[in-house]
Structure 1
Amino acid sequence: MSTDSATPTTLSAVPKLRGNANYIEWREAIEEQLLAHDLLDIVEGTEEEPFGQKGVRKRRAGSVMPTGGTGDPGDAPKALSAVEVKQWKDWSKRESKAQAWLRMTCTEGPKRSIMGMLSAHEMWSHLENTHMVRTIERQGQLLQTLASFRLLSANSKAMTTHMESFLVTLSRYETAGGILPESQQIVLFLNSLPAAMEQWKDTYAALDEYRQTWVELERLWNRKVEDKERYETSKGSHSNGDALATHGGNHGQKGKKTGEKKEKKQRDMSKVKCWTCEKTGHFKRDCPDAEDSSKKDKTDGQANAAVEAEFEAFVGQAVQDATGLDSEWVIDSGATHHLSGDPKVFASRSDLPEPFSFSLAGQGSLTAEQMGEVPLRLPSGHGLSLQDVYFTPSARLNLLSASRLLSRGWTISLAPSGGRISNGKVDVPLEKRKGLWVLTAKSANQPTHGRVLVTTGAESLHAALGHIRGKKLEDAAAQAGLKVADVMRSAEGCSTCAEAKATKQPKAGTSPRGAYAGELVHVDIAGPFQPAKAGEDHFLALVDDWSKISLVVPMGGKTEAYRHLRAFVSIMARLAAPRAVRFVRSDGGGEFGSLEAQAWYRETGIQHQVSPPYTPELNGVVERFMRTAKEMITAMLKGSALPHEYWTHAARHAACIIMKTTKVQGKTAWERLTGREPTLPTSRVFGQSITVAIPRAVRTKGSLTNARGVRGTLAQGIGLGSLLQSSDQ
């Protein structure tokens, strides 16, 4: 089939361009079709008209065949050869088709805006420029959408749709000019997954660091979706009873009536040999010598022992005393997650998207439909909160996953003299029963309103006094006749304090600093403020880390920030010669991370350092500079009684004063920039009444030679002042 005959079907998949609302959707769809029909290079301008005239176009592209190249001056143009004619006609056909496709996929408004344009590339560029896709606002909206993604249902269809939607939004963010490192893409996607998929996330986190890529994440995700599809298919084709019968080995029982029991065939135990004691008559799981046998099979670990243990050994599990519920937990080396069948130990539970099955080391399985949090009080009085505990009603024991504890920073020590687990601050003793290691704790989940649980006098005192600490708690402990060390230890491990008083860790040490003038440039934007007379409502602050050369640039919005950054870097590059500007440090603002800026960084070899969100201390040089500048601006406007609309003049004045008064190794920033020492004693007060001479070039005969006004801005680099006329006030 020819390309022409396929056009109606092809364009039916492309939505009509209406405006900004669906520009991204339209562009993605039309790009696919243009690429499939070898037209994308034409609309993007990378494939120009062969043998065509360069410069401004006067006729529609592809409408008139060009002449060949000229020979010597005065010679007539040479005609195209047959091969060249065929080459141009092929291009002309594709150019005309590209123009037609762009018009046909636009509604009336966008179509009229491109009707008078003479090439497909002009049309494409015009649509791109007028629909404002590469804006900071658009990037912010899409980044917020990526951060708010949540997978609500863990079935195969929802998982497939979730990944597709995430990738589509990520593509639109990049189309809008945003750049998101692969590591941040992975973090955003993992954060979008529910708690029920913690096991899958752990599988990815367990990969070697070099394998933790987006490609590997997609591979694991697709495999997970395939597993889900197989599970859903088998679940839909069999009833629960049929599935259990098949699992139990009842193949071929299709004619069996519902409720009819199968007669169990008795096995001759006289020929069965135990692997533990090597005697006949019983299986290994029923061996009475299992605990003391030194010949125990090493492949049969504590996971198997845990599920086969006698229930009578743990009758204390549901015994309630005056201070809470005794809760006993078996340390299981084979369990992948914490499990509990006791609903009373849970502080909260939530339904899983689908039942989660755990296979046992022997026969059968456990099924969990809910997951929640289990708060415990350890014998030492410390609190321990178990997260993501699966509720398995058929389980007779509570299981603590050894692998989960190890991944959370706990260490497990098992010895004939006794076992214990520790996280460096808290040591929890373990008791050995029937070959199993058991942790006994108090359940911190009371079946009453409120969750206050007091297990020791030390903890009671700490809680009763509002969870105070330090010297006040020591004095109270001494007054109550309690051991001060016990009370302070209880306060140190208080889980309530950890939840209520947690603060952000202070910055450790200092950030890397510049070693010479121009090596490291700090940049940030302040605002928005009340607009000045010319409409400026932000200012750009630029500071060289080593020399403290700085610049304040008032701006209307943020779009000019990148241009001013390049200009400042050029100044610092001249001062740094023969060395170069190596680093630009900013926050995560999109104006410094756009595609254009990233291309410039790569071209110049500059490394763009981005401080994490909500950590201004990592870009503290420019943050402190902006605070000082804003304080000076406010003070100068207040002292001069000038209205706020003159804040831009005060900002420039403040930047010059800061450079004239900031010294590094005996030289001010002003002297390093201009080569001249500042003359501070001759500095004038901002807003001071002055009289200045009017230059002859601008005055007429008979007019005044002087004018009165107030002093405005120190012109950066030359030390002159601007005059604010009285009529301006």
Structure 2
Amino acid sequence: MFAASSNLFASANSVVKFNGLNYEEWSEQIRFILGVMTLDHAILTDEEPSAITEESSETEKSRYESWERSNRLSLNLMRMTMAESVKPSMPKTEKAREFIKKIKECSQSDLADKSIVGGLMSELTTKKFDWSQPIHDHVTHMSNLASKLTTLGMEVNELFLVQFIMNSLPLEFSQFQVNYNTIKDKWNYQELKAMLVQEEGRLKKMKDQVAHLVGLGSASSRKGKPSIKDKKMDKTFVKGPESQIHKERKCFFCKKMGHFKKDCPKRKAWFDKKGTQHIYVCSELNLIEVPNNTWWLDSGATTHVSHIEQGFSSIQPIRGADQYLFMGNRMKAKIEGIGTYRLILDTGCHVDLEGCLYVPECSRNLVSVSRLDNLGFVFKIGHGVFSLYRNDYLYGSGTLFDSLYRFNLDAKFSESLFNIESQGIKRSASNESSAFLWHQRLGHISKERIMRLVNNDILPQLDFSDLNVCIDCIKGKQTKHIVKKPATRSTQLLELIHTDICGPFDAPSWSGEKYFITFIDDYSRYGFTYLLHEKSKSVNILEVFIDEVERQLDRKVKVVRSDRGGEFYGKFTESGQCPGPFAKLLESRGICAQYTMPGTPQQNGVAERRNRTLMDMVRSMLSNSSLPLSLWIYALKINGIPNRGRELHETYATIKI
């Protein structure tokens, strides 16, 4: 029963979601799955067996129970494979056959047919061939569109289909179109498809020949003056407009002939002399005594500037060469980062200052008038007060203070910035609802794993809008793609254990460990991670691990797979490699030891992949370099042991972030 339910749940994930317009495809997959699992008799028969009574025979009881189970599972499967947007409008019934019949009636209404026909007709008439697929697939797809329209009552004549296909061809097929228009005979669909396949092959061959000729010309030109043979080739193959292009090369920067603007040496020298483009803001020497949690409106600033990191909804550090912000008095300050700052005003509205620069050396926080004007904001200034509008809606206001206009911020928002700065605690102002922040804290794990933690109430509800592309993940986890060979998984817990030791590392842990060893169960992929001072301690850790898992699971470890390192098998002596303490412990416990062949780490791929995963997390966090060491070790231990959500929650509660 449990296996059948699991198969049904797995099948539901593979069925296309019903959105109200794809009934045919959805119902076909539903009927196939129910038929394979012998659960379709509830939707095939109209007669419902009579209810079970005390006088019912065993045959009647069995028939009713079989029908009831088929009806119940069929209803659950159909409801699970529906989009959330259409579920409220589904018919309320407890019979699977009646349920799918009403869905068919709703889906085949005139309104649904009209929307489907309109979409198919639009795609058929506007589709263009862009060389992203073979011409055969393109023509077949257009024929399928015409067939779907015919089944919906909009018959597409074969001559119309041929003309639609001809209109979808690009400029490369212009000669082909001219030849077709000049002949008297009209091709049918099959003849047109065969001709287009031949024409596609001819055009590809011509492109290869042209590319070969261009390659010959470029090779000779790199050596110096063209040879007599090259000149003959130029006269032969470069004619008409192409020869005029070479003669009419004119630079729009220096106005000289013979090169383009992008290759102009004077333009490159001008850029080198000009240097990096800098952003200027007004100097604010008269605001030294103003609190740091204030924001000021500046009409002379070309960008938003913040000297505190708190309040940024997203921020990226500046990589590579240093960049500076030039003040109005020609002083420069180093830019530490750039991101989006969320400014909460006293009206309750917020303004996202995109492209805001984080400059700790700047004395005040500035809002650029020109940047807000580009976003559609309107300012009304007068009598010492300014108002900020957008689409005739009041966003906020400010007052004149010391000859500059200061924003009126939300009291709690302003107080939080002031308290954070006065206490010197910067990290406590982080946006705890940011999914990107938790992605960094938990060792750069995937978005799906974070969503799973949220669904299990281990993490609070998060905002996933800022979790897009993590540069540190790309740097730390990039790999070379190899072809993975299929492997046979074990069928029981503790039937096969993968193990490997990783290290030594240059920087030891708090307790002085330089290695760590992992044990992974092949069936469940449940893993254990232990820290080691030296490799010889692996024997003690192995004994602790075996005692724990065998007692907790009431099973015996049967096979341990590792590489043929000295810490696992033994050291080399004059008589060869002799079993060491690790191998002897396995032998005394009756555990079969499997060792990989020399130079084939892929045979122990499960343990190697786990080590790789842990090290990728560490490298990503090192690249980010904004997390404390305690979180690195915390994330390393937690992510090395999957599915320990409660331990993750309790461990996180004991540390202060």
Please state which band the TM-score falls in when normalised by the shorter chain. under 0.3
User: Which structure has more helix as a fraction of its residues?
Assistant: 2
Larger radius of gyration: 1
